[in-house]
Amino acid sequence: MNTLILAQGLPVNETLSTYSDLAFRTSFGIYVLALIASLIYYAGFRVAKVSEKELVTAGGTGLTESTSLTETAAADDARAASGNPRWARITQLFVVLGLAFAVAAWVLRGVATSRFPLGNMYEYILGTTVLGVGAGLVFLRKPAMQAAWPYVLLPVLVLMFFGGTHLYSEAAPVVPALRSYWLPIHVSIIVLGSGILFIPGVVSIMYLIRVWQPQGQESGWGAWLARPLPTAETLDRLAYRVTVIGFPIFGVGILLGAVWAESAWGRFWGWDPKETVSFITWVLYAVYLHARATTGWGPKKAAWINIAAFSVHVFNLFFINMVVSGLHSYAGLN
């Protein structure tokens, strides 16, 4: 029989909470296997089956920013074919399975507490990684992008480890200040935007590596790191397109947070640390989109801005919630 405990007058299903924790640990273990498989796939490019000359366009010139989409796709397909597709499929299988257990952990936590599972930092990180990995399955589904999974899974595992150890909170009802219908609306939209924007953040890092080591011209100690990556044009376009999707979602989440603030605190905006850094993050993403669409900036400078926005976003997630005291200090730390 399920065991029920009472916390602040509300029932918490301890059995489902235990299953949620078990699903979380299982998801973490499967993601570790996915990372290992992705690294084996990644390392397989060290001995390329396709000669470097075949990765240069038919006209005899290397890939440049003016390279056509057809030429870029041909180069990406040639490079993807030099890897071992079996390990790419194994990686995908483990990622899907790990995501299924992570979703189960998230849902069971909500059912166990009879509330939306975004009431503390542990649940927030779980939700962000769930949506981040889900976004990866959507936006990294092409064969040429399978090499991106080590860049996605490593930070996901770091987040989950930190969330499951230092930030873990026992299943319980949320604090009174969060008992509002705005919680699932505002926070879920922010988490969705954060999960989507996680992908262009890591893709921009991959882009800078590829710019440093152009495709077909890899050399030195960084050759092994850059060889599996798609062309710089592919990575640049992907980062831009995914940011275009995630940016307005994140912006809507901030606006809805202001509406919630007005009903809870009597003002739309008060320059609380969380509000301030969220606004800075939004501005940086807006600057990135502007820089990426403006020829004078160039994609390389834009990529640095995107990485800066991503870094501030992570800073806002951890430092602001855990160190700085403010109205948004609901980390749920033990």
Instruction: Supply the pLDDT for residue 91.
Output: 96
- Of 65, 71, 61, 83, residue with least CA distance to 237: 65
CB 31 within 8 A of CB 94: yes
Query: Which band of pLDDT confidence, cut at 50, 70 and 90, is reported for residue 329?
Result: low
Instruction: Supply the pLDDT for residue 321.
Output: 66
**CA distance linking residue 269 with residue 275, whole number of Å:** 8
- Of 35, 11, 175, residue with least CA distance to 94: 35
For 156, residues 6+ apart whose C-beta sits below 8 A from its C-beta are: 31, 129, 132, 133
Higher pLDDT, 61 or 308: 308
Higher pLDDT, 114 or 9: 114
Instruction: Supply the pLDDT for residue 71.
Output: 67
The region of weakest confidence among 158-162, 191-195, 248-252, 294-298 is: 294-298
**CA distance linking residue 289 with residue 276, whole number of Å:** 20
Higher pLDDT, 200 or 331: 200
The stretch 310-318 carries a mean pLDDT of 85
The stretch 237-256 carries a mean pLDDT of 94
Quick check: 62 pLDDT over 60?
Answer: no
The stretch 22-37 carries a mean pLDDT of 97
Tokens of 182: 């705005």
Per-residue three-class SS string for the chain: CCCEEEECCEEEEHHHHHHHHHHHHHHHHHHHHHHHHHHHHHHHHHCCCCCHHHHCCCCCCCCCCCCCHHHHHHHHHHHHHCCCHHHHHHHHHHHHHHHHHHHHHHHHHHHHHCCCCCCCHHHHHHHHHHHHHHHHHHHCCCHHHHHHHHHHHHHHHHHHHHHHHCCCCCCCCCCHHHCCCHHHHHHHHHHHHHHHHHHHHHHHHHHHHHHHCCCCCCCHHHHHHHCCCCCHHHHHHHHHHHHHHHHHHHHHHHHHHHHHHHHHHCCCCCCCHHHHHHHHHHHHHHHHHHHHHCCCCCHHHHHHHHHHHHHHHHHHHHHHHHCCCCCCCCCCCC
What are the C-alpha distances in Å from 288 to residues 49, 65, 244, 276?
37, 18, 10, 18
Quick check: 244 pLDDT over 70?
Answer: yes
Tokens of 95: 């990622």
Higher pLDDT, 265 or 154: 154
Instruction: Supply the pLDDT for residue 183.
Output: 78
Q: What is the pTM of this model?
A: 0.85
The stretch 193-201 carries a mean pLDDT of 95
Instruction: Supply the pLDDT for residue 59.
Output: 35
Instruction: Supply the pLDDT for residue 275.
Output: 82
What's the pLDDT tens digit per position in 77-122? 667 666 688 999 999 999 999 999 999 999 999 999 888 888 888 9
The stretch 249-272 carries a mean pLDDT of 82
CB 190 within 8 A of CB 30: no
Query: Which band of pLDDT confidence, cut at 50, 70 and 90, is reported for residue 325?
Result: low
The stretch 44-65 carries a mean pLDDT of 46
Quick check: 176 pLDDT over 90?
Answer: no
Range among 63-72, 161-170, 245-254 rated most confident = 245-254
Instruction: Supply the pLDDT for residue 84.
Output: 80
Quick check: 195 pLDDT over 90?
Answer: yes
Task: Round the average pLDDT of the chain to a whole number and report it.
Answer: 83
Quick check: 278 pLDDT over 50?
Answer: yes
Instruction: Supply the pLDDT for residue 90.
Output: 96
